[in-house]
Copies of this chain bind each other. A is one copy, B any other.
Amino acid sequence: MNSKDIAKLAGVSRSTVSRVINNYDNVPEETKRKVLEIIKKYNYVPHASARMLAGKRNKIIGVFLYDAKAEAQTEHKKVFASAYFNNFTSAIIDTAKEHGYNVLAVMIENSKDWKNAKEIFYNKTIDGGIFIGIKNNDPNIKEIIEAGFKVALVDQDTKSADEAFSKSIIINADNFTAAYKTVKYLVNKGHTKIAHITGDMSLLSAIERLEGYKKALIDSGILIKNSFIVRGFFTVESGYKAAKKLLLKEKPTAIFIGNDSMALGAIQAIQELGLKIPDDISIIGFDDIEIAKYITPSLTTNRIPIYDMAYIATTNLINSIEENSSFSASYLIPVEFIERNSCRSL
């Protein structure tokens, strides 16, 4: 069953069938009704590829998730990693749906995946894409932007030296300010020995959180100690290791941890060392993943408005696709401090 069949059945030409399908206004009601009836009767749906080839849009956007964790993990667990990314994806699917778009979800773990990612842009499978958690200023993204494809980026530097990046839609959480406030909060509680477990430092969010941490210490007249800054990778495991490393030497009284997953690992390490939270050590995380409020003590953290960020990324991208405008935009989204029970005053 194709448009020709429908045309014959309805006693019109394929042109008219097409006009009805695309809801053009130069079709009389009666004709429209007749055609629609046949379409319905035969359950006809126009072939997406044919429409595409003839100049319509696919109405598919891609969401590309680079999960740094993936590389480190063992085979059968590699994609389970991040609640953070899952929530982004859900929110994007939800928003896209409202605009009549579907979402192709792609995990990027290696160069072969990058090849696939580029291919679905070049072969026109998708009308645009959203990249989340990609290495800051990744050259692969640059190539895609420069090839003229529509792209929205979450967690990318807007002040990039590279013009390509500043020509796109960029959405960031205000990680710097949130980190700054987090450390100030600890300082106000009397802490001076404040450590930081960083996230994956190839990501902008990790960089900004570290910067916020440093700036707050400086502004508080506290010396930055390199031994108090330990590198993590946003994974539970890396949080565990970082905390162990941190607590071997001179103990901090508080740790600002780059995200909640690492906080989970850190908590385990802290418990193994026989220390109590918050009595012996205060901790604060980032993200506000679902677990955060259920653990004991509940975790003080920073909530990223994932839905809002995904919403902005998706609507902007789709607007850009529909208007065929290559506008650039940059959003800095405030982060909410969530005070729970993992910190004490000294």
**B-contacting residues of A (Cβ < 8 Å)?**
43, 45-53, 58, 60, 76-80, 83, 86-87, 89-91, 93-94, 97, 102-107, 113, 116, 118-120, 122-125, 147, 264, 267, 290-291, 294-296, 306-308
Further contacts, 20 of them, CB under 8 A, given A48-B120, A264-B294: A45-B118, A45-B123, A49-B49, A58-B125, A76-B308, A79-B94, A80-B91, A80-B306, A86-B86, A86-B89, A93-B105, A93-B107, A97-B107, A102-B116, A102-B120, A105-B105, A267-B294, A291-B294, A295-B295, A296-B296
Bound CA span A51–B52, Å: 12
**Taking CB as reference atom, which chain B residue is nearest A108?**
B97
Question: Cβ of A264: which chain B residues have Cβ within 8 Å of it?
Answer: 294
- The contact sample of 14 A-B pairs, CB cut-off 8 A, is A45-B119, A45-B123, A48-B120, A48-B123, A49-B50, A77-B307, A79-B90, A79-B94, A83-B83, A89-B89, A93-B107, A97-B113, A104-B105, A267-B294
**Taking CB as reference atom, which chain B residue is nearest A67?**
B90
Contact call B102/A103, Cβ cutoff below 8 A: no
Question: Cβ of A83: which chain B residues have Cβ within 8 Å of it?
Answer: 83, 86, 290
Choose from B51, B86, B107, B122 the contact partner of A94 (Cβ within 8 Å).
B107
Interface of A is mostly: helix
Contact call B78/A107, Cβ cutoff below 8 A: no
Bound CA span A147–B43, Å: 10
Contact call B48/A125, Cβ cutoff below 8 A: yes
A125 to chain B, nearest CB (A): 5
Contact call B79/A47, Cβ cutoff below 8 A: no
**Taking CB as reference atom, which chain B residue is nearest A50?**
B53
Bound CA span A90–B291, Å: 19
Bound CA span A106–B78, Å: 22
Question: Cβ of A107: which chain B residues have Cβ within 8 Å of it?
Answer: 90, 93-94, 97
Bound CA span A315–B275, Å: 47
Bound CA span A48–B294, Å: 47
**Taking CB as reference atom, which chain B residue is nearest A268?**
B294
Question: Cβ of A147: which chain B residues have Cβ within 8 Å of it?
Answer: 43
Bound CA span A183–B47, Å: 52
**Taking CB as reference atom, which chain B residue is nearest A1?**
B122
A316 to chain B, nearest CB (A): 18
Question: Cβ of A291: which chain B residues have Cβ within 8 Å of it?
Answer: 290-291, 294
Question: Cβ of A306: which chain B residues have Cβ within 8 Å of it?
Answer: 80
Bound CA span A97–B306, Å: 26
